[in-house]
Amino acid sequence: MFAQKCIFRLLEHCPCRHVLRVRNVHVSVIGAGNDVGLNLGLLLKTNQKVTRLHLYDEDDKIYGVGCELNNIPGGPVVESFSGDRQLALGLRDADLVALVARTPRKLATTPHQMIIENAPAIQKVCRSIANHNPEALFAISTDPINCIVPFASALLSTYNCYNPFKVFGITHIDTARSRAFAGKMLDVDPETIRVPVVGGHSDKTIVPLFSNLEPSCYCISSEQADMLTRFVRTADRDVILNKRGTESATLAMAWSIHEFIDSIADAINGKEVIVNTYSPNLTFGTRYFSGPVKVGAGGIVESLCDYRMSELERQLLREALPLIHEDVSKGEEYAGVVKTLGRYYT
């Protein structure tokens, strides 16, 4: 007992005692009943940085999901919510709202169709965030991200709660795949390497910067980089084909979203972290751009775009920029249509 009192007294006078005070991280997952959300929920249940986990889905089976996750010892306390009236409860007080609701991508689905199909869920969540939790960090994984993030940002602006530093389009899957493919080619552990990915988040706008592979002791030739870039860009299509066209990537997507949230949890606790995200960025003239950003407790601190590129990467980026600009315009224009017509949820 005496020893414990001595330790407590030492901690009280320790100049670094604030480091020991870890803020509880509250995460809300919207669309938690789909395949991505279910796997993400399981991963978050095992994350010791998360102390409260809210799962929302329009399908009331989410109550069973929450019940089952609470049977797992340890991790955050899980609460489930369903129906329009409970959306506010599902995201209220959350430090991070992660939107994974989506219509699954299929081979024949066009980006325009995906916007139309996913827009109602986006608008409903944006309105609820504006009304009930405007200070939350808002991370979106709903496709097509190139269009949906500008669409959501325009809606949040209409609802007078838009903060460009707190809205993220989760593109962590692109760097996860780049690391996986590069690690396999180099025969090294992919968790020990980093590959920045810039551009957008679609087949023709993803630009992995294999010339900036870290650690710098590893080297990938231009021919290898060209091949790996094709692998990364077609990875989602390959998954759909191998799943017989019934669904898109779910396991890798959930894993990469969890890796993103795990890093954001550190940021919420006061540590600056680097994540890959599609966010407001005027560097290349497209208004939105995907790439590594530095994030702190209040959101995005700095975009990290100062990379030396190979000729292949510069050419790929030149080809991608007009497509990204077009996607951004589509998202913002569709937000204007929704606002004018008063569609979906008001």
Q: Which residues are catalytic?
A: 201
3 state DSSP class of 97: strand
Q: How far apart are the first and last CA of the chain?
A: 60
Structure tokens at 7: 């330790």
**Residue in the structure block whose two tokens are 């590069």:** 182
Structure tokens at 217: 């002791």
Q: Would you report the helix, strand and coil content of the chain in percent, each value rounded to 5?
A: 50, 20, 35
Structure tokens at 191: 């968790």
User: What contacts 116, CB < 8 A, 6 or more positions away?
Assistant: none
3 state DSSP class of 65: helix
Q: What is the 3-state secondary structure (H, E, C) of 300-342?
A: EEEECCCCCCCHHHHHHHHHHHHHHHHHHHHHHHHHHHHHHHC
Cβ atoms of residues 288 and 149 within 8 Å: yes
For strand 137-140 and strand 167-170, is the pairing parallel, antiparallel, or unpaired?
A: parallel
3 state DSSP class of 207: strand
Longest dimension (CA), the chain: 71
**Burial of residue 141, with CB atoms counted within 10 A of its CB: 0-12 exposed, 13-18 middle, 19 or more buried:** buried
